[in-house]
């Protein structure tokens, strides 16, 4: 009797070990498959975002080799910052930035908020007076004395939204 009890206990323990082994190996396989699928999704998303960023920067001085060759600048980030700062310096005028192509309305003056240098000749910027927003396309020139001058090509003021 005692011998058969130990035999049954041994068989039950062996079966439990087999089932436990099978459970954990299939669980690891499912986890690996899930991680592989997640990695594929992340890789695809990263490629998509990279392509979108490349498309968004298609019109940018940093990615335009011809414009860079035209400018013959060794330090392109410093040059870009110089152009941006030259344009933003006009925000300090009491009447607002004259390159927004908008006169001051009441107490609020129009100032330029963001600037993007498109190439060796054009800059696009958005501006606002705190309530009304607009965008302007500017042509810029590097003068002989290394100062930057601007010319308004076109400006658009969005209509005020009524709530």
pLDDT cut 70: percent of the chain above it: 99
Nearest to 109, CA basis, from 136, 92, 129: 129
The Cα 36–Cα 7 span in angstroms is: 43
- pLDDT tens readout for residues 11-69: 888 888 888 888 877 777 777 888 899 999 999 999 999 999 888 888 888 888 888 88
Q: pTM value?
A: 0.68
Q: Which residues pair with 112 in a beta bridge?
A: 127
Note the Cα 125 to chain centre separation in Å: 17
Cα gap 87→81, rounded to integer Å? 10
């Amino acid at each position: 009797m005692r011998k058969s009890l130990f035999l049954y206990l041994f068989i039950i323990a062996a079966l439990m070990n087999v089932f436990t082994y099978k459970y954990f190996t299939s669980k690891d396989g499912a986890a690996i498959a899930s991680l592989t699928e997640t990695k594929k999704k992340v890789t695809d998303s990263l490629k998509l975002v990279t392509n979108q960023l490349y498309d968004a920067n298609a019109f940018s001085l940093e990615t335009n080799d011809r414009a860079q060759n035209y400018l013959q600048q060794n330090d392109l980030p410093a040059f870009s910052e110089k152009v941006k700062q030259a344009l933003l310096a006009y925000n300090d005028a009491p009447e607002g930035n004259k390159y927004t192509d908008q006169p001051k309305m009441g107490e609020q003056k129009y100032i330029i908020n963001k600037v993007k240098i498109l190439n060796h000749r054009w800059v696009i910027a958005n501006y606002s007076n705190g309530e009304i927003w607009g965008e302007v396309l500017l042509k810029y020139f590097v003068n002989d004395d290394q100062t930057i001058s601007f010319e308004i090509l076109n400006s658009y003021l969005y209509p005020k939204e009524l709530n």
